[in-house]
Structure 1
Amino acid sequence: MAIAAMIMAILVAVEHFFILWLEMFNADSEMAAKAFGVPRKLLKMPEVKTLFGNQGLYNGFLAVGILYSLWVVPAAASTGVTLFFLACVMVAAVYGSATASKSIIVVQGLPALIAFVLFLLV
């Protein structure tokens, strides 16, 4: 069970690194337009690119936090710190689902919830 929890948490981190890349370095692409349901013309605006870059940075912090909690934080605190970062992802997914796109709750929130539950069962 511990291995499954760790793998799932790593997958959540990888997903957020992908979101970082998409929002910070590929924000005006067709892929981003499709992923975020926003016209590509809008994504080419400098102000929008700046906002997406900022969002991407926060997604990167979540990813780094999860990996940090797994491999750097001492074992006694590792689970608690991992649960904290997974909870942050879930809160962000709920907010994003309520304000931006309903699919965020499934795409980002569900993997984080699965990892969270697996860590609780370890």
Structure 2
Amino acid sequence: MTTFVTVLSLLVAIEFFYILYLETFATTSASTGKVFSMTADELAQPKVQLLFRNQGIYNGLIAVGMLYATFVQRDLLVPLLVYILLVAAYGAFSAGKVALFFKQGGLALLTLLLLLLG
């Protein structure tokens, strides 16, 4: 694995750790509202906070998986990146926003392409 792919894989992990932070620890912050296009009133709802915290744990596990795949078991990197792209595609489709795919999966797509071409 090239150094560039390793760096990109780390950036994907950092991206998912950031999402973990927003969803689990900063559920009512202005940054979370901006990232998810939600108002402070929406973010303050207990059900929304519960759902965000639950989803944040999943995103954190993806980040841990990326680190594990990058440094321990490299053959897991391709399936994990494909999973991230599928999740990004579903999110874009369900939200009706194509740009969401590239926001959530763009870095993973670039990493996967470079990994497969290298």
- Letter matched to residue 15 of structure 1: E
Task: Give the drift of 1:97.
Answer: 1.0
- Letter matched to residue 40 of structure 2: R
Q: 2:80 aligns with which of 69, 82, 85?
A: 85
- Letter matched to residue 41 of structure 1: D
- Whether the 8 Å CA contact 1:12–1:111 is kept in 2: the answer is yes
Q: Deviations over 1:34-57 (max 9, x none)?
A: 110111101111111010011111
Q: 1:18 to 1:85 in 2, by over 3 A?
A: same
- Whether the 8 Å CA contact 1:2–1:118 is kept in 2: the answer is no
- Whether the 8 Å CA contact 1:5–1:115 is kept in 2: the answer is yes
- Whether the 8 Å CA contact 1:28–1:43 is kept in 2: the answer is yes
- Structure 2 distance, partners of 1:91, 1:2, is 24
- Structure 1 distance, partners of 2:61, 2:80, is 9
Q: Does 1:108 align with 2:104?
A: yes
Helix, strand or coil at the partner of 2:6: helix
Helix, strand or coil at the partner of 1:28: coil
TM-score computed with the length of structure 1 as normaliser: 0.89
Structure 1 segments of 4 or more deviating over 6 A? none
Q: 1:10 to 1:101 in 2, by over 3 A?
A: farther
Q: Which runs of 5+ in 1 are unaligned?
A: none
Q: Which runs of 5+ in 2 are unaligned?
A: none
TM-score computed with the length of structure 2 as normaliser: 0.92
Cross-structure match for 1:12? 12
- Structure 2 distance, partners of 1:21, 1:104, is 19
Helix, strand or coil at the partner of 1:117: helix
- Structure 1 distance, partners of 2:80, 2:68, is 10
Over the residues paired in the alignment, what is the CA RMSD in angstroms? 1.4
Cross-structure match for 1:43? 43
Cross-structure match for 1:97? 92
